[in-house]
Amino acid sequence: MGSRALWTTVVALWAVGPVLAADPRSLAGGRLRLGGEASFALAAEDEGFFNFTDYRDSYLRMARLGASAELRLSPHLALLGEARTYNFRDLRAYALYARVRPFSTREIDFQVGRIPPVFGAFARRRYGADNPLLGLPQAYQYLTSLRADALPITADDLVRMRGEGWLVRYPLGNRVPAAGMPLVASLQWDTGAEVRIGGEPLQLSAAVTQGTLGNPRFTDDNDGKQLAARVAWTPLTGLILGASGARGEYLDRDVQALLPPDLGRRRYRQEAWGADAEYSRDHWLVRSEVIWADWDMPAVGAPLITSPLRSRAVMVEGRYKLAPGFWVAARFDDLAFSDVQATGGTFTWDAPVRRLEVGAGYAVHRYVQVKASWQRNRRDGGVVHAQDFVAGQVLLWF
């Protein structure tokens, strides 16, 4: 989408936003509720692919439209769904699930379908309005050099793709270049069943899903399932502490069938652990999150790949409200990877990357926000090692 078309849409959205937002859609006596979200972000071309969410789209140059609906069939049963499109291309079912609340006096519910995420804190936030900046934390967006449908044969193949996660090529499996997996895919929900028990001060969530954190799926591709869980504790007002875990098979059965028999019979899993904290008081809101993610890899050819491949993401974020509707914010990200031994020496299996983003936002209306930020990216690998961005966004929801 060209910049002229983008800004024309932004101006139109700015004009009609307050009118639409003033009338949240509630039909059939409140049993049917409709909602929507539209955001438009613009920044310079991302030559280093630091903010890419797939091989085509940068999150800082994205038009995102979404529509949601909730139909309450009874006090105990509801159907929920959400569809989204990015840059006016494919329309995707982001969420589509049934929620059952069997008890009116107990905090417990079951959800089945394309369900909300269990793991971590960021993916559980309200999608756009609760993000004080434009970018996403690296753990939930940055594309690593691993794919579920293609494999490196040697450590040299893996090292060759360091910092090239936006378009990964490997000799085993699907040879069509494609984007790699993030640690946690926040722009797509997984399919399965989930249970949530409790509220404050203690809540437990657990889920069984078709895919994994980095590769959510609608249909099964390897006869495996992922188990994920999170516990959240609110010891005092304003403080939330969380811990998460997930383990599931990520490797596509088609590429696994190409492995030697002794390797093809094994299970290759992504395993992740997370810890998060949030504290709010007066005008301050501070959040932090740490995620450790490992991937099992087959050792096919020499130099052999050391398994598991490990990664660690750290995020610290803060927001301060200067005045009603006006805030400033900052986020620091650090993404690190374990070492492998290749022909040319010892390297991290992917290129470590750091990001600093600072910005400000203003609520023009209850349902309309404008944001601006400056983002600094530094990476030890890839074609482009460093790039800075100035970006702007308009966000509307109702």
pLDDT tens per residue, range 244-254: 999 999 999 99
Q: Which residues contact 345 (CB under 8 A, 6 or more apart)?
A: none
Q: Is residue 46 part of a domain?
A: no
CA distances from 33 to 24, 70, 71, 80 (A): 8, 5, 7, 10
Comparing 124 with 210, which gets the higher pLDDT?
210
* Domain coverage including residue 299: 98-397
What CATH number is attached to the domain comprising 178? 2.40.160
For the cut 80, the answer to whether the pLDDT of residue 256 exceeds it is: yes
Q: Is residue 172 part of a domain?
A: yes
What pLDDT is stored for residue 92 in this prediction? 86
User: pLDDT by residue (tens digit) across 302-311?
Assistant: 999 988 999 9
What pLDDT is stored for residue 124 in this prediction? 79
Query: 204: how many CB neighbours lie within 10 A of its CB?
Result: 15
Q: Is residue 47 part of a domain?
A: no
Q: Is residue 295 part of a domain?
A: yes
Helix (H, G, I), strand (E, B) or coil at 363: strand
Range 223-235 average pLDDT: 96
User: pLDDT by residue (tens digit) across 342-397?
Assistant: 999 999 999 999 999 999 999 998 899 999 999 999 999 999 999 999 999 999 98
C-alpha to C-alpha distance for 290 and 334, rounded to whole angstroms: 10
What pLDDT is stored for residue 55 in this prediction? 85
Q: Is residue 319 part of a domain?
A: yes
Assessment of whether the complete model's pTM goes beyond 0.85? yes
Look at the chain and report how many structural domains it folds into. 1
Q: Is residue 235 part of a domain?
A: yes
Q: Is residue 75 part of a domain?
A: no
Q: Is residue 77 part of a domain?
A: no
